[in-house]
Amino acid sequence: MKLDAPVTGGPCWAELATSDPEAAQRFYARLFGWRCATDPRQEAGGYTVAHLGDAAVAALAPLYQEPQPVAWNVSFAVADADATALLVEEAGGRVLLGPMDVFDLGRFAVALDPGGAAFQLWQAGEFPGAGVFNAPGSLGWVELLTRDPARAERFYTTVFGWTVRPSEHYPQWGVGGADFGGMITMDDKFPHEVPPHWLPYFAVADVDACAATAAGAGGTVLMAPTSVPEGPRIAVLRDPQAAVFGVYRAGDHD
């Protein structure tokens, strides 16, 4: 990710919805060295912020409603959550929740793109988003997996004004040309029951060691450590509660 701070239109936060917050905190603390702090306010619903040093890097939260899946979710920074939510609807997406205020921290909404991939909008108040990117243990790349890449490109460029670096196999998203993510077309190799989704990638110092640690802590290695030609070394992992995420070698996306 070429972005090193939250910017309008770019990814600013990653948030885990999990069936077992305490177990998830232990897993990610072991994997990334996160220090987790749960908001004590009852109305915060157990929302927990993970830190590296003093910097907030991600969040973990319990499942708040029955059909909510265990999954990592990506938030994109917007100047006006209400105006962007309207754009989402006009462009063929759907707003599932909000926009709503989160204390004095910001304004928030959950949406689906036309293919069904969930994402979040974040209008910063007191909280702009992650305090560090690209360093080991922090967010560094986001990837859309979709069955309709042409429609996805029209939707996201309309809603966020993203730039697109064209490629037959892996188009890349950017803000003003600063790439922060990519897009994979879900072909027949993807089981039908796997929905389109956004996948966050976290930077790590050693992809192979991280994958081994994840497996030893009860996680699953879905894609073994691989060096992409002319690209980063990556792996795709699943935590013990079944949330999927990627890791890449720190510095490979700079």
Per-residue pLDDT reduced to its tens digit, 146-155: 999 999 999 9
Report all structural domains of the chain as residue ranges with CATH numbers, in order of start. 11-124 (3.10.180.10), 139-249 (3.10.180.10)
Sign of torsion, CA 41 43 46 52? Answer: negative
- Provide the pLDDT confidence category of residue 114 given band limits of 50, 70 and 90: very high
pLDDT of 254: 58
Q: What is the mean pLDDT of the chain?
A: 94
Nearest-10 crossing angle of helices 81-90, 149-160: 150
The structure's pTM equals 0.95
Q: Cα 139 from chain centroid?
A: 8
Peptide bond into 99 cis (omega under 30): yes
Distance CA 140, CA 40 (A): 29
Q: Mean pLDDT throughout 6-31?
A: 95
Distance CA 159, CA 149 (A): 15
